[in-house]
Structure 1
């Protein structure tokens, strides 16, 4: 599970690196790869494409891990203090001070666990990214609820590297907002794809690029499902499906081994979604993201099976 951008945060207010220059993806340069939507699309039409964020795929993992850490820490704090209060542990050889110090350490660990879970609980159901083709703008819903708006042609797109919980490196797709000198990174955002294959990220970039540069007809056939989070909380069945689909390529035995964890992950995802707010664009941005009634390129969650809408 790779939560780069949350843990750790993207580095900003820094020089653009040579590696980022070497991996730059240019808006006007067509790449001869098959576009991949990567289960990122919330809705698509002739005006704009709405995408989920980098952390949507594994949403619920920080909740599960954080609550587990907090639960273990609090359990042992209560257990040790109960043993002291009931006289099961005598105050001999300085044992009580050691227990109290240990309880303090465990309490700190529990607080850190709750802080981790708080990165998903009581936040927003997702952090949408809107590619406004009509006005050639990119709108990004930030983690703090504010919105970044930047012209499509001014964003420096590049590949990025993130690190999973066990240290494995992944590829992702990032947009860098540069200072006027075009050498200093002021802000970073990332699209939904996080994977160990560079070519898959490039294919997703080409999906987004072709939409903006060539229009919806160039990419509409790549969309099989839309994420059902537009103006609503994710249905439990859709969240469960999104968790389990991550392991779709595993062998049957490995899938069964992962089943208990994925079930807990799906429960934690549902908890995160139920406690979080639905993101809303500011009125001035929402006014630009309109769709014509006769638009032939509208795709949204209504195309999904009934339980995934």
Structure 2
């Protein structure tokens, strides 16, 4: 069995390594010069944005709880199948051979032990692979788009060579990726933004995904256009990020991420009550994965190159921005969100962050001066 490399949390394109790109990728190649679509949209992938650097999440960050849940379920299934194997395999030691033969138990022992061994191996592999790629690695795999150095930096693993550097160039191969997902009732399409590193023969060496999966091709183009316009034109004309991710996530911030996909609509209060145990279980699974991992560490030279300019009016999150929930006029922060914002505001101010009102005043002065 061929396993994906540990830099891939979502193993859907590792089978392309060493092979040429398909017709879809070639037909949907993206240009850093030509707009892909009129609208630019951000879907909640951002850690921070300023005039120097845009830092976004790895595509799997919002779904870490799924990995944890898979690991928990498969671990219990592996243990159950292993105990079943031991139970059947130990039957000849619990009863005499004559008794086994008289009762006709040998067929059941052989069948039960065989099924147990196969089940243990199957669920063991399902337990091992997500653990290998997600647990005891990195809490997050951030990607930085740097306008000044014209580079994309991506942390993939904590091993030497785990930080990839990609020039922002028309010669690099960016494209919209596509894959068919199997649902309970029918299959559906998902799209993403990929970068492929190719060798001299046009075969895939490695790849990674920018941003998150989308359900429509237009949404993928809009997401790419947000990144493209940032690198080409800067942050001045981009829409506000939908939300900002916390670099260090608490258990309850993880719970809110898990809760967000379950409760919506007019009956949110009833849904909150009904699905609370499931969201809490998801949050525990997410915490379990993240608790085994360490924080990513950028090399000093990349940190220096991506350091924001103090009092940059385009630097977000602002000192009075909320983390983990949508900000701006339509924000609906909880009491905990407000408390965290008040606690973090003094530190953000010392680091050179402006509050929203100060930033808007500076931008207004610049527009008048222009």
Verify same fold: TM over 0.5.
yes
CA contact (8 A) 1:24 1:159 kept: yes
**Shift in CA distance, 75/296, structure 1 to aligned 2, threshold 3 Å:** same
Per-residue deviation at 1:272? 0.8
Partner of 1:169: 189
CA contact (8 A) 2:142 2:155 kept: yes
Partner of 2:362: none
Per-residue deviation at 1:300? 3.3
1:229-308 matches, cutoff 5 A: 229=247, 232=248, 234-247=249-262, 252=267, 260-300=277-317, 303-304=321-322, 305-306=337-338
Whether 2:145 is the aligned partner of 1:131: answer yes
CA contact (8 A) 2:70 2:127 kept: no
For the residues of structure 1 that align with 2:10 and 2:242, how far apart are their CA atoms?
29
For the residues of structure 1 that align with 2:80 and 2:246, how far apart are their CA atoms?
37
Among 222, 234, 243, which residue is 2:240 paired with?
Answer: 222
**Shift in CA distance, 103/225, structure 1 to aligned 2, threshold 3 Å:** same
Per-residue deviation at 1:130? 0.6
Partner of 2:58: 53
Per-residue deviation at 1:44? 1.0
CA contact (8 A) 2:46 2:56 kept: yes
Per-residue deviation at 1:66? 2.4
Whether 2:170 is the aligned partner of 1:149: answer no
Partner of 1:205: 224
Aligned length: 301
**Shift in CA distance, 108/35, structure 1 to aligned 2, threshold 3 Å:** same
TM normalised by structure 1 equals 0.84
Per-residue displacement from partner, 1:125-172 (whole Å, max 9, x unpaired)?
A: 111111011110011112464011011114221110134463532111
**Shift in CA distance, 162/262, structure 1 to aligned 2, threshold 3 Å:** farther
For the residues of structure 2 that align with 1:48 and 1:147, how far apart are their CA atoms?
17
TM normalised by structure 2 equals 0.71
CA contact (8 A) 1:125 1:279 kept: yes
Per-residue displacement from partner, 1:251-287 (whole Å, max 9, x unpaired)?
A: 7499577655443222111111111111111233223
For the residues of structure 2 that align with 1:91 and 1:39, how far apart are their CA atoms?
63
Per-residue deviation at 1:31? 4.5
**Shift in CA distance, 239/294, structure 1 to aligned 2, threshold 3 Å:** same
Q: Out of 269-278 and 290-299, give the one that drifted further.
A: 290-299
For the residues of structure 1 that align with 2:9 and 2:135, how far apart are their CA atoms?
17
**Shift in CA distance, 251/197, structure 1 to aligned 2, threshold 3 Å:** farther
Whether 2:202 is the aligned partner of 1:186: answer no
Per-residue deviation at 1:213? 0.7
Secondary structure of the corresponding residue to residue 287 of structure 1? helix
Among 61, 65, 73, which residue is 2:70 paired with?
Answer: 65
CA contact (8 A) 1:237 1:308 kept: no
Whether 2:199 is the aligned partner of 1:195: answer no
**Shift in CA distance, 15/251, structure 1 to aligned 2, threshold 3 Å:** farther
CA contact (8 A) 1:42 1:228 kept: yes
Higher RCO by CA contacts (8 Å cutoff, separation 6 or greater) = 1
Partner of 2:10: 6
Per-residue deviation at 1:191? 1.4
Note the aligned Cα RMSD (angstroms).
Answer: 3.0
Higher-Rg member (1/2): 2
Give structure 2 stretches of 5+ with no counterpart. Answer: 1-7, 323-336, 342-370
Secondary structure of the corresponding residue to residue 124 of structure 1? coil
